[in-house]
Amino acid sequence: MQNRIMITGAGSGLGREIALRWAREGWRLALSDVSDAGLQETLRLVREAGADGFVQRCDVRDYSQLTAFAQACEQKFGGIDIIVNNAGVASGGFFGELSLEDWDWQIAINLMGVVKGCKAFLPLLEQSKGKIINIASMAALMQGPAMSNYNVAKAGVVALSESLLIELRQQEIGVHVVCPSFFQTNLLDSFRGPTPAMKAQVGKLLESSPISASDIAEYIFDQVGKGEFMILPHEQGRMAWQLKQKNPQMLYDEMANMADKMRAKAKSGKD
Ligand SMILES: NC(=O)c1ccc[n+]([C@@H]2O[C@H](COP(=O)([O-])OP(=O)(O)OC[C@H]3O[C@@H](n4cnc5c(N)ncnc54)[C@H](O)[C@@H]3O)[C@@H](O)[C@H]2O)c1
């Protein structure tokens, strides 16, 4: 029987590239997103790569849409072998400038969307002894300045993944968490934050990545195959994480300097 994978946020960026990487292995794909046009384009590319599947609109904030999606996977595929909780949005702004609504929005999508995805699909994963791949971020580990709500949501995804790794071993369900640094996608389109200057700064960071979404999908495919739990696709990210574990204060000092620079830039109006 062919293997089956479901991906949230599959209509763009990393979600689309993960779909294409597994499509090249001949997997059947269940693709969801809030963007119908994005989903149609991913499905077209999946078919071009010689695989097939179905698309279903699904907002990860809405648990009933996720359970309906799980039901569709059961009806159409007879189950699921891998789930990828990838859907996410970008945000930025210093803590003092972020509203509580900014927090609710960020946590609802980037953290609770992953919690709900895991919960909705758990019965199917128990049947298949499948795998969970959660897309977090280096922000979960490094806590860069002016993105506290994003940092907290992604740190929550890492903590959830560690909890599930421990709890689900008995059911033989594999768990992986991916922490990429910035890379170029359409993530900036979803940006929510108090100032356009902050959005521009995030845009520059996305552009600065030495690796693409497709490189990251390739790395994830390889590392999941090797059974690696914590997947850090950027070399610089792996180095920074090692450094932080050895000397956290040095990293805090560096981040504080970065915060000063960002404030100065925002004040002078330059980017
Ligand atoms: N691009 C980066 O620099 C970067 C770095 C680290 C982690 N990530 C994470 O990678 C994941 C994929 O992001 P991307 O960079 O490919 O961005 P992207 O914007 O290109 O893709 C994200 C997709 O998620 C979908 N989405 C947004 N809100 C949704 C919702 N409520 N329900 C369902 N789908 C929703 C969007 O429509 C979009 O198709 C996200 O979790 C993001 O936080 C990205």
Please tell me the predicted confidence (pLDDT) of residue 270: 54
Closest ligand 1 atom to Cα of 87: 24
Distance from Cα 197 to the centre of ligand 1, integer Å: 21
The number of CA neighbours under 13 Å toward the Cβ of 196 is 2
Contacts of 10 (CB under 8 A, 6+ apart): 16, 18, 19, 29, 31, 32, 33, 38, 39, 42, 55, 86
CATH numbers and ranges of domains, the chain = 4-235 (3.40.50.720)
Distance from Cα 9 to the centre of ligand 1, integer Å: 6
Q: Strand order in 4-7's β-sheet? A: 52-57, 28-33, 4-7, 82-85, 131-135, 174-178, 230-231
Residue with the smallest CA separation from ligand 1 atom 8 is: 137
Q: Considering 63, 150, 219, 252, which one is annotated as catalytic? A: 150
Please tell me the predicted confidence (pLDDT) of residue 265: 82
Please tell me the predicted confidence (pLDDT) of residue 47: 98
Residue with the smallest CA separation from ligand 1 atom 28 is: 88
Q: Which of 41, 187, 189, 220 maximizes ligand 1 atoms within 8 Å of its Cβ, making it the mutation to test the pocket?
A: 187
The list of the chain residues with pLDDT below 70 reads 1, 269-271
* Alpha carbon distance 49, 23 (integer Å): 6
Judge whether 63 counts as a catalytic residue.
no
What is the per-residue pLDDT across 118-158, written as a single tens digit (0 to 9) for each?
A: 999 999 999 999 999 999 999 999 999 999 999 999 999 99
Q: Which two tokens stand for residue 192?
A: 């929510």
Please tell me the predicted confidence (pLDDT) of residue 271: 47
Q: Which of 17, 185, 207 maximizes ligand 1 atoms within 8 Å of its Cβ, making it the mutation to test the pocket?
A: 185
Closest ligand 1 atom to Cα of 189: 19
Please tell me the predicted confidence (pLDDT) of residue 188: 92
Closest ligand 1 atom to Cα of 35: 37
Contacts of 101 (CB under 8 A, 6+ apart): none
